[in-house]
Structure 1
Amino acid sequence: MLLRRIRQFFETRSVMEVDTPHWSRFGVTDVHLENLRITDGGFLLTSPEYPMKRLLAAGSGDIFQLGHVFRRDESGPRHNLEFTMLEWYRVGWDDERLMVEVAELCRSVADEPELAVETVSYREAFERSGLPDPHRAEVALLRACVGKQLNTEAGDWSRDECLDALMALVVEPGLPGDRLVFVTRYPASQAALARHEVVDGVTVGRRFEVYWRGMELANGYWELTDPAEQARRFEADRARRRELGLAEPEVDPNLLAAMEAGLPECAGVALGVDRLLMIALGASDISEVLPFDASRA
């Protein structure tokens, strides 16, 4: 029923459903994601983003996709190695307009028309939790916060490692659970596929994440369309992966070629369908909403 409601939502808005491959010859460079590599070559995709952007560049117009994606080392009450993702793109939109539609989708498919919405910047979310300004604080101070808040030695942690830990274990649990909470204006270093802008002298990414009832539900961007800048960011990701001793997947030349041909102005978002179903059913473990979780696959 949830999948039918999602499709009906987009049908009434004339957004076309597409079906792109689950496999690619190229992986992702994001240091926070790990592809599953196939023995015969190539990778199972962590998201349909790259092929969907190629369709956008070819003139598809507004599109959405419902399908399975794969992320290595994803396990736990809210994670499964294979899960269902809803991803959609709106041509000519920015992130703020897309956030309105994300809220409309959640209200519609969860049958909660009065569901409240709150928007808070990444900086505001940290400061509400009694943490320093995440954009301006020295790394030493962030490491000290990790040590104090999480009782963890963080003496050699990078800035983003500190911020990720504090976000996941301090900020997120304190967000209101009775409404959709949109966290916006992430650090630029955490928004490699999004446009960047300067706000109060700090460069931030036009990225948002959506939280509901204690769970991260969706991640969206006002998409970067500059191929040269995207290539530079991919190489920066690869350099960081090299520093961390991680595999360095080759940058997908098909995506960059599509951007060179002309990726239209657009905003896109990916939403975890299984988590949305968990919320709708009041489930505490993702295995409760999957017919075959990783332990039974």
Structure 2
Amino acid sequence: MDALDLAVLQRARCWHEDGHAVWLVSVVETWGSAPRPVGSLLAVRDDGAVAGSVSGGCVEDDLVRRVSQGERPSAAGLVCYGVSKEEASRFGLPCGGTLRLLVEPLLVSTWLEDLLQRASRHELVARTVELGTGTVTLAATQRGARPTFDGERFTSIFGPQWRLLLIGAGQLSRIVAQMAQPLGFSVHVCDPRSEYHVDWDVAHVHFEVGMPDEVVLTMEPDAHTAIVALTHDPKLDDMALLEALKSPAFYVGALGSRRNTHKRRERLALFDLADEEIQRLHGPVGIYLGSRTPAEIAISILAEIVAVKNGVPVVQVPPACSEETPEAARHAP
């Protein structure tokens, strides 16, 4: 589930603690083109305040109208939007799009506290709601689990589905770590150099002080793991890459110019890596955006990671790009 949906639950908890009546609205099924995927979450407060999203906005407006007019369900039930072409148009849904929503009152917050605590520990949690009774159960789950609805029970997934390991704790790593968390990544940073971790202050990041190759092995990267080397120090970056490229990690990248990336590939070829493993390396890391600042380079890196995660082809360098083209000289040195 989108990491921002955890923020919706946090807001709902605060409203409930303040004495407001709150309803949670989840997308449980879609047909045709839908603006938000299954599992998307919205919280509606008794005075019309909302947090989150289940559509482009019109459905949210109608839900607020219902609450304002006294439609305040006391048990978990379903609401459907976009059954007809006219209704789809009215609620801003794409032609033929239909949403089925689960609307449930937030009656107790015990499960909510438990879920938020687990998520804060970077655990993946499956939350199951029974229609009618509104009974909520929580259970541990694995990366790759998806929301399911069998007509009587809806299960949604909370917590970081993806992991990102950054080698190096410099300025660029700080920015990447901050940007990656709202994208749903549990972020790990590895840097054995003491001067780099003394004042590390990015919240909710796992900091590892071991040697990069050992940290990669300990993490046991899987198909939901991305690894990016950002130190510019071959002694550290290459150690991590040697293990990362042999792993099932869906993305492995390294900072550096095209010239240095070529040299890195030559060094990696001296070790026990197959040609196809070396070819998995994304370098220079990131999609070409003409980036000139650390923040812009961070955006280019995360854009490429997200594209690969979503199965979208990426172009590393535009055809007319030369070695001197900006992008901070394609991430020199």
Q: TM-score, normalised by structure 2?
A: 0.21
- For CA contacts below 8 A with separation 6 or more, give which structure has more relative contact order: 1
Q: TM-score, normalised by structure 1?
A: 0.23
Larger radius of gyration: 2
